Each structure stands twice: as structure tokens, then as C-alpha cells.
């Protein structure tokens, strides 16, 4: 049986590198994206050239109806889901807590937390041995911001990732006896274009002197940890977190 992975927010950065790595390891890939259709289609073509099946599905994973459609399309075009990578997330411009609007807080929580709950629900319904599934793996992409709190910059983003950590641990224990493992990676300062969304494209270079390894990380390094957690190489690991932060 083919291994099948859904990667949310897969058109760029960590999501795109994760999709590539899974494809190189023989997984059929469902790429989810929100707005970047051109990038997603280019990645789909690249992955198909590797020799595996790949589809790209536009869906807002913060919407229950669209999440249901995403998973249904994966069912119909690829088959039974094996792995879910909850990667989709947003970041807003750096601000102190007192400068953050109610609308921004709710937007961050909807895209970064609600999305993980909705996608995990769909995945568990398919994977759980309790409902006739054969098991599977969920990997959530959290952040070291969940531990640091990101003061003066992204307290709302950090809080959303703290919620992802709690979801990871709670769901892992809930479905551990149903053939499903749930784990998370916590990237630190990684070279992705998400920092531009926060208003500082060069943030990693500004802060890299604080990192014991004296450099920022690469999306491909995060992808390797995601693949390990998703695969049978980590078959006795659940409810765990892999920090990718160069020693921070």
C-alpha cells in the first residue's frame, strides 16, 4: 500500500521542503495551499517528476467545510491517508501586545490553531483503528516561540503555537491505543520568507549571534525531523517534541 501524506501550507518554506522530502522517500503527496496557486502547481510538477503521485488542492484549512473537501479530494485521487503534516500558519507584523487588535488575535488563532484541530479531526477519522482505519501519524509544526513567548514581537503567534503544543500532547494520549502517533517539531530561527510577513526579512541574520550554533536553520533541516517523526523509524515515539533551534 502506498504511503500518502497531506502537507498543509505546502507551497513554500518548510511545507514545500517537507513535501519534496516525503516524495523522495516514496510517498504520494497532497499539497494544500491557500493563495499561492502558481507555486503549488510548480511544486506539484516537480514532485511528479520524482515519480510519485501528487495533487495540489486549494483550501482554507481554518474552514471546516474546506478541510472536509481537502481530505475528500485526497481520498478520491490518492487513497487512504497515512500521514498528516499540520504546517499551515500565518504571522503578522511585529507588535507589542497592547498594539494587537481583536481581529488580528482571532485571525492568528483561526489559521494557526483551529486549522490544526480541523485537519486532525479528519485525519483521526480515517486513521483510527477504532473506526476501521489502519493507523497513521500526525506531525504538527509548532515553534520555539511557544516556549519563548516572543515578547515585543509576536505574542499572539507564540500563544497560538503554545496551543498547538497542548493539542499535540492531548491528542497523542487520546489516540495512542488506536494506531495513531501524534508528535510535533518546534523550529527556531529558520530561513523562510515568513519573517518578511512580520516586517523583518533579515530577522534570522540579526539574531543568529544568540544561537549557540551561530547560524539560522534551513527548511530542509526541519523537513528531515518531520519525516522521521512520521515514519516507522520513530515507531515508539508519540506526544513528543523535536526542537530545531541550534541549541536555543
What is the set of active-site residues? Answer: 157
Among 89, 139, 138, 87, which residue's Cα sits nearest to residue 109?
Answer: 89
Of the candidates 128, 231, 115, the one whose C-alpha atom is nearest the C-alpha of residue 183 is 231
Query: Among 26, 40, 27, 108, which residue's Cα sits nearest to residue 70?
Result: 40
Report CA-CA distances (Å) from 38 to 35, 42, 46, 56, 59: 9, 6, 12, 10, 14
For residue 128, give every residue at least 6 positions away whose Cβ sits within 8 Å of its Cβ, in sequence order, or none. 135, 175, 178, 179, 180
CB-based contacts of 116, cutoff 8 Å, min separation 6 = 86, 140, 164, 167
**Nearest residue to 242 (alpha-carbon basis) of 165, 184, 193, 158:** 184
Compute the C-alpha angle 115/58/168, nearest 5°.
25
Cβ neighbour number for residue 176 with a 10 Å cutoff: 13
Neighbour count for residue 117 (Cβ, 10 Å) = 16
CA distances from 149 to 115, 159, 222, 238 (A): 21, 7, 20, 24
Amino acid at each position: 500500500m502506498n504511503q500518502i501524506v497531506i502537507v498543509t501550507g505546502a507551497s513554500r518554506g518548510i511545507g514545500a521542503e517537507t513535501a519534496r522530502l516525503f516524495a523522495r522517500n516514496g510517498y504520494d503527496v497532497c499539497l494544500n495551499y491557500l493563495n499561492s496557486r502558481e507555486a503549488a502547481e510548480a511544486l506539484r510538477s516537480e514532485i511528479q517528476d520524482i515519480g510519485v503521485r501528487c495533487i495540489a488542492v486549494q483550501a482554507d484549512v481554518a474552514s471546516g467545510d474546506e478541510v472536509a473537501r481537502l481530505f475528500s479530494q485526497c481520498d478520491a485521487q490518492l487513497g487512504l491517508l497515512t500521514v498528516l503534516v499540520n504546517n499551515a500558519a500565518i504571522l503578522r507584523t511585529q507588535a507589542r501586545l497592547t498594539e494587537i487588535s481583536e481581529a488580528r488575535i482571532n485571525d492568528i488563532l483561526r489559521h494557526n490553531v483551529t486549522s490544526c484541530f480541523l485537519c486532525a479531526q479528519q485525519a483521526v477519522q480515517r486513521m483510527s483503528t477504532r473506526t476501521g482505519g489502519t493507523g497513521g501519524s500526525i506531525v504538527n509544526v509548532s515553534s520555539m516561540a511557544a516556549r519563548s513567548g516572543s515578547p515585543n514581537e509576536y505574542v499572539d503567534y507564540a500563544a497560538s503555537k503554545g496551543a498547538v503544543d497542548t493539542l499535540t500532547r492531548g491528542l497523542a494520549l487520546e489516540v495512542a491505543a488506536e494506531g495513531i502517533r501524534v508528535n510535533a517539531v518546534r523550529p527556531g530561527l529558520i530561513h523562510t520568507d515568513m519573517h518578511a510577513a512580520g516586517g523583518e526579512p533579515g530577522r534570522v541574520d540579526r539574531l543568529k549571534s544568540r544561537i549557540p550554533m551561530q547560524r539560522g536553520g534551513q527548511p530542509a533541516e526541519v523537513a528531515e525531523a518531520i519525516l522521521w517523526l512520521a515514519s516507522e523509524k520513530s515507531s515508539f515515539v508519540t506526544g513528543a517534541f523535536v526542537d530545531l533551534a541550534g541549541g536555543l
